[in-house]
Amino acid sequence: MAKKVSKMGKYDSVIADLSAAKSNLQDSIDQLKQVINPSEQFVLQRLTGIANITALEAVSEGNDPNNKLGKQGGYTACVYLNSDLVDSSDVYLSGDYTPVVDGGCDAGGAVEVYANVKDAKKRDEYLSNFDGNSILDPGSHKIVGTCVVRTSYHLAASQQNNMTSNIEQALIRLDK
C-alpha cells in the first residue's frame, strides 16, 4: 500500500528560478536572431548614438571599397563609422571625414554583415593574417553572430575594446 504524502514542500523558489532561466534562454535566442544577417537599416539604427561614433555610412555597389557587397562569400551589408577618438589627419589628407566610406576602418571602424557564420569566420581569419602588420593592420575584429565588428588600428587597445563592446551591446540589445 502506498504511503500518503501529507506535505509536498515549497517549490516557489525552484519554479521562479526555472522561469527566470526560461526567460534568459528566450532573450539569448532573440539576441542571436538579431545578429544573424541583420539588415543595413538595423545596423545603422543600432550604431546611431553610440559614444564616440560621429558619422555612419552604408556601402553601396557604387562606393564599396572591397567590391564584396552582395557577392558570394561577401557581405550582405557593410556600415563604416567615424570616431572622434581618431585624429582625422592620420586618415584623410584634407582632415575631412566625408564621405565616411572613404576613411574605411581607419577612421573609426565598420560592421560587416555576412549571410552565414562560415562567411563571417572566413573574413575574420583573413583579417587575422594582417594583425600586427604596420602597413596593413586591420585593427581589431570580432565576430558577433554573422557580423564582423571592426575598429581602427589608430585606436589604443582599450579604446578598441570599449568601442567593440559598445557596438556588440547595441547590436544584441533587446527592445521590449
pLDDT at 96: 59
Blockwise average pLDDT, block size 10, the chain, 176 residues: 64 89 94 96 97 95 93 97 88 66 90 98 95 83 98 94 97 92
Chain Cα centroid distance, residue 120: 11
Buried b (16+ CB within 10 A) or exposed e, 106-128: bbbbbbbbbbeeebbeebbeebe
Whether the Cβ atoms of residue 148 and residue 12 lie closer than 8 Å to each other: no
